[in-house]
Amino acid sequence: MDMGRVIAVSGKGGAGKTLLAALLVRKLVKTGHKSILAIDADPDSNLPDALGVFVESTIGDIREEFSVEQSRLPPGYSKDAWLESKVFEIMVETPSFDVLVMGRPEGPGCYCAVNHILRKIIDSMTGGYDYAIIDAEAGLEHLSRRTTQNVDDMIVVTNGSLSGFNTAERIKNLANELRIKFKHLYLVVNRANSSHEKLILKRVGSIGLEFAGGIPEDANVAEYNLLGKSLLELPDDSPAVKAMDEIMEKLSMQGGK
């Protein structure tokens, strides 16, 4: 792969975005991929916990620090260089993957120029990895903020509720309105009930999304979340993990580097 593949996971709040993002990272690690960047772009920042990683600072912290430090930069030292160095400074590196957390969205001041530079830096970084997995903001904010405009594949997660499917349809429609083009726009149903498969497929087809599969209710996931254990440690025979194997095949993401 010459260019990195960027995959964003979206959907309504509480639908299971972070679960799917963590399972994606887990599967990529297990299949031998060594160049993975996990980006938590949700202000709730739950992805590091799901991956068993402690993150001290976020992009939001850099933005606030820059508002104070920019007047103190040495002559000839560019804002771009300062921001880029800070982004690399806050990244958490593990033997299997790296983690970057966006943190809180823009504050009360105008950060337009800074956000533009940061987006360029992050876009450049994602291209240096085989895979970048983004746990996006809930709802449609990531589209209106343009934080997921350079994404190859968008996976929308729903819990099977009408409101979840409606959010998925709004994401598709807004992406079209903003002329944000994805190579694929998938839908995954979390806590999927096999008895509802026909209804789900009919609903997916009516809104024009590619159905990548479902993740069943998994007692192991509930237990790991309660205990604060990394989802990377889920057993291979866990229902959610086995379902992820099938989803990865749909996404053509099997095999290592």
Residues 17-24, mean pLDDT to the nearest whole number = 96
pLDDT band (50, 70, 90) for residue 54: very high
pLDDT for 1 beyond 50: no
pLDDT of residue 257: 41
pLDDT band (50, 70, 90) for residue 69: confident
Instruction: Read off the pLDDT of residues 77-111 as tens digits, 9 standing for 90 and up.
Output: 888 888 899 999 999 999 999 999 988 766 555 45
Q: Is the pTM of this model over 0.85?
A: yes
- Bridge-partner residues for 254, per DSSP? none
pLDDT for 62 beyond 80: yes
Domains identified in the chain and CATH numbers = 5-250 (3.40.50.300)
Q: Which of 59-68, 86-95, 175-184, 247-256 has the lowest mean pLDDT?
A: 247-256
Q: Which of 28-37, 188-197, 209-218 has the lowest mean pLDDT?
A: 188-197
pLDDT band (50, 70, 90) for residue 165: confident
pLDDT for 148 beyond 70: no
What does the mean pLDDT of the chain come to? 85
